[in-house]
Amino acid sequence: MDIILEMISAGIIGGVLILAVKSGVGCGLSNLSGKELMMFASMYAVIALIMGAGIGYIPFDLTEQVVGLGLLMHTAIGVGLIYFGIQTGRRWHCEKCDISRHTFLWLSLPCPACLAATFFSCMILIETTGYPGFTIGGIVGSFFAGGVIIGAVVVKSITNRYQLDRTTILGSVMLFLGLFYLVTPLIVFAYMKMESVPNIDSTVNIIGTITAMAMMAGIVLLGILIERTRQMRKAGGQ
């Protein structure tokens, strides 16, 4: 039983670190100063500390309502990330206007989904470890703050080393995560529906599958070859 509890706790901490690193990536790509980064990390730590300390005082009905709005929150955040990710890249490339210090907030601010995940992480750790809520909140907050700082420092180091365009990367990351936020609920919904479908034994025609995939690959390669030939002819004509 102790091993199971340790695995559950490790999984929760791992999930917290993933959320923290995501926020750290946004901070690292937005050219924040060291002081501003520390303020961001401290904000996450304080939020987790307050949530851990207030576990016993927050009504359970309220948490159920937050979970029930999960799909709506994911959709709103996904749309916002896609829109402002496109705007970040477009304004930078077309107008040389860097708005990353504003748009990165969609990626790094504690969104409702992150707050709900932090709350449930604290609640589950309190139940599995038996530690007081204030202590668990401090532990989760420390991991959150550390993940934000590490993510930002690593991203800044990589972009400085290879002279990468942070604003362009930020727009691309926001666009990718926005699409991920929109697609994830659909995948989860489809998986839940598939579990209710009875298991039907069926055979797969391996030869036919390989043939179909080879034909698809051939069509793609043919299109690439035609486009390459067209570009070469156009360049030769000039």
Tell me the domain boundaries of the chain.
Answer: 2-195, 208-238
DSSP string, 23-49: HHHHHHHTT--HHHHHHHHHHHHHHHH
Q: CA–CA separation, 138 vs 132, rounded Å?
A: 10
**What value does the mean pLDDT of the chain take?**
83
Cα–Cα–Cα angle for 78, 83, 89, nearest 5°?
Answer: 125
Q: CA–CA separation, 57 vs 54, rounded Å?
A: 5
pLDDT at 45: 92
Q: How many residues are recorded in the chain?
A: 238
Say which amino acid occupies 88. Answer: T
The lowest-confidence range among 80-94, 140-154, 204-218 is 204-218
Neighbours of 113 (CB within 10 A): 18
User: Which residue blocks in the chain are alpha helix, DSSP H?
Assistant: 2-29, 34-53, 60-68, 70-95, 100-103, 105-108, 112-129, 133-162, 166-195, 206-237
pLDDT tens digits, one per residue of 18-49: 889 999 999 999 988 899 999 989 999 999 99
Query: Measured between alpha carbons, how far is residue 92 from residues 57, 99, 165 in Å?
Result: 46, 8, 10
Distance of CA 145 to the CA centre of its chain: 17
Q: CA–CA separation, 59 vs 38, rounded Å?
A: 32
pLDDT at 83: 93
Cβ pair 88, 105 in contact under 8 A: no
pLDDT at 1: 47
Angular region, 130: left φ>0, alpha ψ -120 to 50, beta rest: left
pLDDT at 148: 94
Cβ density class 3-29: b for 16+ within 10 Å, e for less = eeeeeebeebbeebbebbbbbbbbbbb
Distance in angstroms between the alpha carbons of the first and the last residue of the chain: 74
pLDDT at 201: 56
Neighbours of 172 (CB within 10 A): 16
